[in-house]
Amino acid sequence: MRKLFASNGLRALVHLGAWLPLALIIADYARDALTANPIQAILTRTGKASLVLLVLSFACTPLHTLLGWHAVLRVRRALGLYGFGYALLHVATFVVLDYGLDLELIAQVVVEKYYIIAGVAAFGLLLPLALTSTRGWQRRLKQRWRVVHRLVYLAMPLAVLHFMLLVKSLLGHPEPLVWAGVVSILLALRIPIVRRRASQLQHRLRHALRRTAALEPGSVFRS
Amino acid sequence: MQPLTEMPPIRSSEITPEHVYFSRRRVLRLGMLALGSAALAACVPTTPTAQEAPGMIPRLNKRDEFGDPVNRWEEITNYNNFYEFSTDKEAVARLAQGFQTTPWTITVDGLVRNPKTYDLDDLRKFGEEERIYRLRCVEGWSMVIPWLGFPLHKLLREVEPTAQARYVRFVSAFVPEQMPGTRLLPLYPWPYTEGLRLDEAMHDLTLLVTGVYGRPLPPQNGAPVRLAVPWKYGFKSIKSIVRIELVAEQPATLWNTVAPHEYGFYSNVNPNKPHPRWSQATERRIGELGRRRTLMFNGYAQVAPLYEGMDLMQNY
């Protein structure tokens, strides 16, 4: 188990897991199990896969700084790129399968539907991140690379907003609220003061745990 | 009801290829349903058609007045919005399977001269005709559905609304122990209620539905009696009706109560009036790729006189 969460095992898990949603969509399509509304099913499932992978990627940095889990930094980029890949499939499904490349219709709904505006904005913000994700771009942009990649702080809330706006009623479909909570926490953990406090708390907890572990077993009674 | 043997011949191009038809999931589902209905049949008297495995029902070769074919039985009975059972359209059919629809009564009261409680046998006297209607969901998808039923005005005439009656209020069954969705959505103002203006309810297009596809209505489609108001968004066509009340004031409806600015009382299909958060200009016809432009009143232009002089952008 410990090994699994170390670098190589984790990487294998990420690469296998990230292809799974696509494999399942294709398998369900092949056996005609994509519901009576297959375009909707593909849109929903690519969108959900994208959100999950992006949130996982977004969680890597806090997981590292707060828990000292180093291995996650080595899957952060892969998770983000897979997340973007599903977003790309999602957009392609919308433009090609759903709207049959009818640009006039697409232009009309993009301005009319708020949730599409949020989705398009999130996608547009993620695009430069995906394009500049290579080592080469990292070297070329130097300090500016970090600035560019802060766009994710805008892209993540927009992606969740996109989800919140498209459900019929949040009362009946509270799931987007859960994602909003998760993304808010992950954003908050990046605020310097919150990060410092959380880090201190974590160190104190770890210390306390270590002390109790050292005292046990029976050590309490020895004094 | 039209016997299947007398159906017009189906062109081979319209028959779903066998490999698609007998996909694994369907066969599995079929097996489970067959087992389930066999077990049910042992203790509950049911009509012969209710015992047939639904996966085997061939596509009807019928079209609406625009020439568009009716949807497949699988589509109509496996993609349902019925929040009392689940918000997952694919899960409703399974969760609604055991729903008890016998005995069933519909109480018609309020501002009427002859209040009356009808059981299902009483409704037979109003006859049963087939109407092929488009159903446009507020979520942006649509189907063509061959309903069986009778115009609501036949029933309303019998109870004789008084001069004070101006609206009709409909109430769905609310049976939490059989409706898992209501337990997951405790904040909704159950039971589901809907409403029509009296002249809308009296319109010949407004159908009280007792069957679909030449068969009794399955639970997921609103058994045993539901409404079909084809020029309005699907949620106005209330399911599993237990009460019809004639009232003087515009009644509260579930969706209008939950989100008044998003789901108006009238909720006529209107491509020019977007939902506050999404467009209603187009729709996805189930079974088709791509999109269609949504038609005013869902293509039922004959209802336009009902709204003469009304601003439909305000009264949405």
Give me B252's structure tokens: 């509260």
Last residue of a domain, one of B56, B72, B107: B56
Q: Read off the DSSP letter of residue A25.
A: H
Instruction: Write down the mean pLDDT value for chain A.
Output: 89
Interface test with B, best of A34, A169, A173, A177 (most B CBs within 10 A): A169
Q: Given this model, what pLDDT does residue A92 score?
A: 96
Q: The pTM is what? A: 0.80
For chain B, percent of residues with pLDDT exceeding 90: 77
Residues of A in Cβ contact (< 8 Å) with B142: none
Together in a domain, B47 and B149 = no
Residue at B314 is within a domain: no
Together in a domain, B155 and B235 = yes
Q: How many CB atoms lie under 10 A from the CB of residue A169?
A: 16
pLDDT above 80 (res B31): no
Residue at B1 is within a domain: no
Residue at B313 is within a domain: no
Q: For residues A182 and A186, what is the distance between their CA atoms, to the nearest angstrom? A: 6
The domain tally of chain B equals 2
Q: For residues B212 and B70, what is the distance between their CA atoms, to the nearest angstrom? A: 11
Q: For residues B261 and B249, what is the distance between their CA atoms, to the nearest angstrom? A: 19
Together in a domain, B246 and B280 = yes
For residue B239, the enclosing domain spans: 62-305
Q: Residues 224-253, chain B: which have Cβ within 8 Å of A?
A: none
Query: pLDDT tens digits, chain A, 223 residues: what are they?
Result: 555 566 788 999 999 999 999 999 999 999 988 989 999 999 999 999 999 999 999 999 999 988 888 889 999 999 999 999 999 999 999 999 999 888 888 888 887 778 899 999 999 999 999 999 998 998 999 889 988 999 999 999 999 999 999 888 888 888 999 999 999 999 999 998 888 888 888 888 888 887 777 665 544 444 3
Instruction: For residue B279, give the nearest of A37, A112, A173 by CB distance.
Output: A112
Q: Give the residue on A whose Cα is nearest the Cα of B285.
A: A37
Report CA dihedral (A129, A135, A136, A140) to the nearest 10 degrees: 70
Together in a domain, B52 and B137 = no
Q: Give the residue on B whose Cα is nearest the Cα of A112.
A: B279
Extended strands (E) in B75-200 = 105-110, 116-119, 129-136, 141-151, 167-172, 193-197
Together in a domain, B42 and B77 = no
Report cis status (omega within 30 of 0) of the bond before B224.
Answer: yes
Q: Given this model, what pLDDT does residue A215 score?
A: 63
Touching check for B91 and chain A: CB below 8 Å? no
Together in a domain, B46 and B187 = no
Together in a domain, B177 and B211 = yes
Together in a domain, B26 and B81 = no
Q: Given this model, what pLDDT does residue B27 score?
A: 40
Together in a domain, B144 and B33 = no
Instruction: Write down the mean pLDDT value for chain B.
Output: 87
Interface test with A, best of B78, B86, B279, B284 (most A CBs within 10 A): B279
Q: For residues B28 and B68, what is the distance between their CA atoms, to the nearest angstrom? A: 31
Checking ipTM against 0.90, whether it exceeds it is no
Report cis status (omega within 30 of 0) of the bond before B103.
Answer: yes
Burial A75-114 (b: 16+ CB within 10 A, else e): bbbbbbbbbbbbbbbbbebbeeebbeeeeebbeebeebbb
Q: Give the residue on A whose Cα is nearest the Cα of B27.
A: A31
Together in a domain, B169 and B289 = yes
Together in a domain, B158 and B275 = yes
Together in a domain, B114 and B241 = yes
